[in-house]
Amino acid sequence: MTRIIDGKAVAEDVAATVKRETAALAMRDGMAPGLAVILVGEDPASQVYVASKSRKAKECGFHSVQHTLPADTPQADLVALVERLNADPAIHGILVQLPLPAHIDALAVIETISPDKDVDGLTYVNVGRLGAGAPQKAFVPCTPAGSMLLIERVRGRDLSGLNAVVVGRSNLVGKPVAQLLLAADATVTIAHSRTKDLPALCRTADILVAAVGRPEMIRGDWVKEGATVIDVGINRIPAPEKGEGQGGKKTRLVGDVAFAEASARAGAITPVPGGVGPMTIAMLMANTLVSACRAAGVEPPRF
């Protein structure tokens, strides 16, 4: 029987560890992990993400700070704020919510963040640490980190002898998750839109990670019997069967994998929603706690 991987339950387990270790840090060292989130402009999706991150940080017992700046904020002012947060010993994690307004060079701003406070794992230093095979010294981007944790819950930490195929080569998901799989000794192939005979390649995968942003692109007959399938995609598509709603036709969320088809063949699979999605914020909390532990000179927990 196919195992449906419950990302919400794993995320709650991660959050429980974060809360417990945060309380221990407060008792032992009198400090709380500090997370600063910066939002520039009024993008509705970004506002929702930032609110949920700030809410979870407070639930975990963090010192949570949110800076909301106007959309026309000059880049120099944003950089100056990041530099002040770099110098603030009460802040252990800095997150600049993307996307930024068009007049701001997002890469230049990200590179201003201290690598030791880059809990999103986007600076070149952290990318380099991960690429050099030292994920334990890097901050790993939260969605790949969460995806890897879900894989470990099914397959264990040692993936020796297993073939992994990652469909998608983005800097945010595809490349980092491939590096994590390599570090766990899997044999890894990164596939993309120009890969020859993608269905045949996917059928070789003991671990199949879909991160392409195309609704239900990975069909059931692309999946090897017994494979572990991690669906990173979140796509909103029309749902005419739901009828009309306020503001027009109703929609539903689907992943990059045709779930019903794939779950007939997979050994384990993440649903959408409820799979990888909940892990992203949980791993942000985990990264911030790790940063605080390093700052306090104590051994951080392993998730």
d(CA 132, CA 257): 30
> Does the annotation mark 53 as catalytic?
yes
Mean pLDDT of 247-268: 91
Q: Are 61 and 24 spatial neighbours (Cβ–Cβ below 8 Å)?
A: no
Note whether 59 and 165 are same-domain residues. no
Amino acid present at 282: A
Note whether 82 and 192 are same-domain residues. no
Note whether 106 and 172 are same-domain residues. no
In a domain, 184, yes or no: yes
In a domain, 99, yes or no: yes
pLDDT beyond 90 at 2: yes
In a domain, 50, yes or no: yes
In a domain, 134, yes or no: no
Q: Are 252 and 242 spatial neighbours (Cβ–Cβ below 8 Å)?
A: yes
H or E segment to which residue 207 belongs: strand 207-210
> Does the annotation mark 158 as catalytic?
no
Note whether 200 and 251 are same-domain residues. yes
Note whether 166 and 45 are same-domain residues. no
pLDDT attached to residue 249? 72
Cβ-proximal residues to 173 (8 Å cutoff; 6+ apart), any chain: 141, 143, 144, 147, 211, 232
d(CA 263, CA 222): 11
d(CA 157, CA 49): 30
189: helix, coil or strand? strand
Amino acid present at 248: G
pLDDT attached to residue 248? 63
pLDDT band at 240 (very low <50, low <70, confident <90, very high): confident
Note whether 176 and 267 are same-domain residues. yes
Note whether 54 and 99 are same-domain residues. yes
Amino acid present at 89: P
In a domain, 258, yes or no: yes
CATH number assigned to the domain comprising residue 79:
3.40.50.10860
Note whether 258 and 285 are same-domain residues. no
Backbone angles phi, psi at 230, to 5 degrees: -110, 115
How many residues does the structure list for the chain?
303
Backbone angles phi, psi at 197, to 5 degrees: 50, 60
On average, the pLDDT of the chain sits at 95
CATH number assigned to the domain comprising residue 206:
3.40.50.720
Task: Report if pTM > 0.85.
Answer: yes
Give 138's Cβ-side CA count (13 Å radius): 25
Note whether 79 and 145 are same-domain residues. no
In a domain, 19, yes or no: no
180-239 pLDDT, tens digit per residue, is 999 999 999 999 989 999 999 999 999 999 999 999 999 999 999 999 999 999 999 888
Domain of 177 in residue numbering reads as 141-272
Q: Tell me what percent of the residues of the chain surpass a pLDDT of 90.
A: 91
97, 118, 206, 231: which one is catalytic?
97
pLDDT beyond 70 at 246: no
Give 150's Cβ-side CA count (13 Å radius): 37
> Does the annotation mark 120 as catalytic?
yes
Note whether 114 and 148 are same-domain residues. no
pLDDT beyond 80 at 245: no
pLDDT attached to residue 103? 97
56, 117, 118, 120: which one is catalytic?
120
Peptide bond into 101 cis (omega under 30): no
For the chain, how are helix, strand and coil distributed in percent, rounded to 5? 45, 20, 40
In a domain, 12, yes or no: no
Supply angle C-alpha 86, 90, 92, rounded to 5. 60
d(CA 35, CA 105): 23
Number of structural domains the chain divides into = 2
Closest listed residue to residue 231, CA positions, set 273, 183, 175, 185 = 273
Note whether 92 and 152 are same-domain residues. no
Find the largest Cα–Cα distance for the chain: 57
Closest listed residue to residue 49, CA positions, set 284, 255, 290 = 284
pLDDT attached to residue 241? 74
In a domain, 131, yes or no: no
53, 117, 175, 224: which one is catalytic?
53
Note whether 93 and 164 are same-domain residues. no
Q: Residue ranges of the alpha helices (H) in the chain?
A: 7-29, 44-59, 75-86, 106-112, 124-131, 142-155, 174-183, 198-202, 259-263, 277-296
152-175 pLDDT, tens digit per residue, is 999 999 999 999 999 999 999 999
92-121 pLDDT, tens digit per residue, is 999 999 999 999 999 999 999 999 999 999
Q: Tell me what percent of the residues of the chain surpass a pLDDT of 70.
A: 98
Supply angle C-alpha 214, 219, 223, rounded to 5. 120
pLDDT attached to residue 244? 65
